[in-house]
A and B are shown apart, each in its own frame.
Chain A
Amino acid sequence: EAGVVQSPRYKIIEKKQPVAFWCNPISGHNTLYWYRQNLGQGPELLIRYENEEAVDDSQLPKDRFSAERLKGVDSTLKIQPAELGDSAVYLCASSPGLSSGRAEELFFGEGSRLTVL
């Protein structure tokens, strides 16, 4: 079974430039998460999707960040314009969802490491 796939793995941009990250979750997983992880810290939730609906985006800086999950499968996370403090690893994760009746283990992608200069 293929895992969560993210791209790009690495991205270096100058501040004020836009950047986008893509995530393909595990097939059949209804729930998709975007987390941000700063160096030496645990992941922090940015947004959670249940199918195509964003049910929690309270931690997403909406002035510059946006996300979408068209058709309830792939998702993109965009930052425009990027700031120096956005340098971090952006992790996508998926899970079967509560309706599956399974323990909601999260499966993570390898992450997209962003460096803003």
Chain B
Amino acid sequence: GQNIDQPTEMTATEGAIVQINCTYQTSGFNGLFWYQQHAGEAPTFLSYNVLDGLEEKGRFSSFLSRSKGYSYLLLKELQMKDSASYLCAVRVIYNQGGKLIFGQGTELSVKP
């Protein structure tokens, strides 16, 4: 079966660094995505990893280890606007194409 696990909620302080972990067990793995979703809004793309290693994009970085079925999203210099749900999603390839399977999301609260 397909399984993606991430913490339900996390709290961090403005200006700090936070790491959100994601573990997965899937077949047909073809990449891992992180999405940000503010309350009442659509998920928006943050990062994509298909090879092992770290991808850095401004204040956000994402890491992937395919052998361990593990990824993390690192947020630096936290701002209040970073309070949102962070969704880990695995892309699987099947039936002429692919789909994203999402974890339940990690609700991040950034405190002053």
Chains A and B are bound partners: yes
Q: Which A residues fall within an 8 A CB radius of B?
A: 4, 31, 33, 35, 40-45, 48, 50, 55-56, 91, 97-98, 103-111
Contacts A55-B95, A97-B97 hold; do A42 and B103 have CB atoms under 8 A apart? yes
- Asked if A31 and B97 make an inter-chain contact with CB atoms under 8 angstroms apart, the answer reads yes
Are A45 and B101 CB-contacts (below 8 A) given A50-B96, A55-B96? yes
Identify 14 residue pairs between A and B in the complex whose beta-carbon atoms are under 8 Å apart, listed by A's number.
A4-B42, A42-B103, A42-B105, A43-B43, A45-B100, A48-B95, A48-B99, A56-B94, A56-B99, A98-B97, A103-B31, A104-B98, A106-B45, A110-B42
Q: How far is the CA of A105 from the CA of B89 in the complex (A)?
A: 11
Size of interface on B: residues with Cβ below 8 Å to A: 27
A45 vs B2: C-alpha distance when bound (angstroms): 13
Q: Report which of A31, A42, A45, A104 forms a contact with B87, defined as CB distance below 8 A.
A: A42
Query: Which residue of chain B has the shortest Cβ distance to A108 in the bound complex?
Result: B42
> Chain B: residues with CB nearer than 8 A to chain A?
4, 31, 33, 41-45, 48, 50, 87, 89, 91, 93-105, 107
Q: Contact between A98 and B43 (Cβ–Cβ < 8 Å)?
A: no
Q: Which residues of B contact A104 (CB under 8 A)?
A: 31, 91, 97-98
Taking a contact as CB atoms under 8 Å apart, the answer to whether A111 and B97 are in contact is no
Q: Are A42 and B99 in contact (CB-based, < 8 A)?
A: no
Closest 3 CB pairs of A and B: A42-B102, A108-B42, A55-B95
Contact in complex: A109, B96 (CB < 8 Å): no
User: Are B97 and A110 closer than 8 Å at their CB atoms?
Assistant: no
- Min Cβ gap B6→A in Å is 9
Contact assessment for B33 and A105 in the assembled complex, using a CB-CB cutoff below 8 Å: yes
